[in-house]
Structure 1
């Protein structure tokens, strides 16, 4: 049976790319690391690394084991810290993933309160496109994430947080010199620029059928929020998003936002966690702050949305 020491040795070799560098990092003889690695490869019946003149490259099996071992070691550290917290104070690492819009709405306020209220928690905040947060969650790179329209999957515990209406945002010469509503049919005739990375296009709206129609008509699909914002201001097209997404440009008056009707488009934000990972005292405390900051942003009008949180 594998033990945590072997997993730590394996991770060090994987991350440092050679036995020599892993040996220096761990302060363990390279021969000992080689012995443990050989035992693991014999147990699995497959090489975990390809030996090269200047180091070691993980095989497909090595990549897969690293994903598992990193998750296992993180869970063990969290368990040890959590038990200490039970008799002492809330501390330990907690990582949170947020989309660009969420960071814009609550990022600074959230981090400020965590640092103030729980100085012994090592918070890591990751900003990414909504769909990119799912792989981070699966790989245990983040403990929880705010994700738009995640797929129905028993792997995750998904709690609905809020619902946002979607707008057509663009320059007046592209979408019209008005803020009157625009129909979905009219929208499809415009040059649409689509934010897309993996399943993150789902973040545009709940209705997958309508999303497919938009994907078919899109003139550009980009993975960069900044590139899309720049393209909209340059007059290359329009985007389907929230007012928060292009808040700065709307404030400057360089773009307009028109509500989409017939049908109205919306998207739902969820707080997602791995179902297989039990919460810790620290992660529960950070979750409460996260929810509080979302509620405050919506109630103050800083985040235009309808709260869906259960009382």
Structure 2
């Protein structure tokens, strides 16, 4: 049976990259750590580290165990917090993942409300491009995440939050100065800038047929917000995105946005949590606060979208 103490030591070695580093970090003798690693490897039946002259590197099995161990240790910590808070006190660590657009719309109001209303909660906020929040959730790096178009077969609990209409955003020399809609076929004649293929690409739309047609015309693929914005302003291509994503550039008039028709394109945002990780008082409270902030952003016009949840 796996021992939580051994997993704790195992993760420390992975993070520090050596027995000596983990020994200093944990204040435990290197020989004791080595003994625990050997026991763990014997129990599992395969090496977990490659021993090198200046450190230790996880094997493929070690990397798999690292992913599981993170989830196990987070679950143990959540259980301890939940039991201590059985009277309903909202406290403890909660990690939340948001896309760049979500942070622009609700990031500061959400953080402000959490710090003012739940002073005993230790909030960790992870920002990334739209589609890359899902791997953070699956790896137990975040407790919940706002994810666009998540797949439905990964043991994830999903709550539809909002739906956004997609637009074509590009330099006016490339897409013109008109606000008139552009058809999907016309859009394909323009050089496309895409998020890299895979999970990130699903954040654009989950219609795989249309997505493949877009990918076939892509001039550039990147997962850098600054690079995408810079390339658009330089007239190197256009993106299928939302007004919120390029809000600052649109306000300055550097780029234009045109609705897409025939067909219209849209994407859905979901609040996602892993079904096998029980919520705590703190995570439940922050999930409700997220929904409150989304509702306020939409009703106040800061987020151009249609709400999909009640309450």
Query: Normalising TM by the smaller chain, what interval?
Result: over 0.9
- Name the counterpart of 1:31: 31
SS at match of 2:119: coil
In structure 2, do the counterparts of structure 1 residues 95 and 141 end up closer, same or farther at CA, with 3 Å as the change threshold? same
Q: Which residue number in structure 2 is paired with residue 263 of structure 1? A: 263
Q: Secondary structure, in 3 states, of the residue corresponding to 1:83?
A: helix
Partner of 1:198: helix, strand, or coil?
coil
Is the CA contact 1:129–1:197 (under 8 Å) kept in the aligned structure 2?
no
Match of 1:17 in 2: 17
RMSD value, Cα: 1.3
Quote the Cα distance in structure 2 between the aligned partners of 1:245 and 1:131: 14
Structure 1 match to 2:188: 188
Question: Closer, same or farther in 2 for the Cα pair 1:154/1:49, shift >3 Å?
Answer: closer
- 1:138 matched to 2:138? The reply is yes
Q: 1:87 to 1:56 in 2, by over 3 A?
A: same
Q: Which sections of structure 1, spanning at least 5 residues, go unmatched?
A: none
Deviation per CA, 1:132-184, whole angstroms, max 9, x where unpaired? 11111011000000011111114101111000001111122111120011111
2:86 match: secondary structure? helix
Find the aligned partners of 1:34 and 1:191 in 2 and give their Cα distance: 55
8 Å contact from structure 1 (residues 131, 197) kept in 2: no
Between Structure 1 and Structure 2, how many residues are aligned? 311
Q: How does 1:68-217 map to 2 (within 5 A)?
A: 68-87=68-87, 89-196=89-196, 198-217=198-217
2:101 partner SS: helix
Name the structure 2 match of 1:285: 285
- Distance, in Å, in 1 between the alignment partners of 2:290 and 2:43 is 43
In 2: Cα distance, 1:142 partner to 1:16 partner: 21
Q: CA deviation at 1:53?
A: 2.0
The CA deviation at 1:20 is: 2.2
CA distance in 1, matches of 2:62, 2:123: 29
1:273 Cα deviation (Å)? 0.6
**Residue matched to 1:47:** 47
**1:204-225 deviations in whole A, cap 9, x for unaligned?**
1242211111111111111112
Structure 1 stretch 46-55 or stretch 224-233: which is displaced more? 46-55
- State the 1:88 CA deviation: 6.0
Q: Secondary structure at the match of 2:124?
A: strand
Deviations 1:280-311 (A, max 9, x none): 10000000110000000000011000000134
- Following TM superposition, by how much is the alpha carbon of 1:197 offset from its aligned partner in structure 2, in angstroms? 5.2
SS at match of 1:87: coil
**TM-score, structure 1 as length reference:** 0.97
Report the Cα distance in structure 1 between the residues aligned to 2:177 and 2:53, rounded to whole angstroms: 65
Q: How far off is 1:24 after superposition?
A: 2.1
State the alpha-carbon separation in 2 of the partners of residues 116 and 100 from structure 1: 23
Q: In structure 1, what is the Cα distance between the partners aligned to 2:77 and 2:214?
A: 44
Please give the TM-score of this superposition, normalised by the length of structure 2. Answer: 0.97
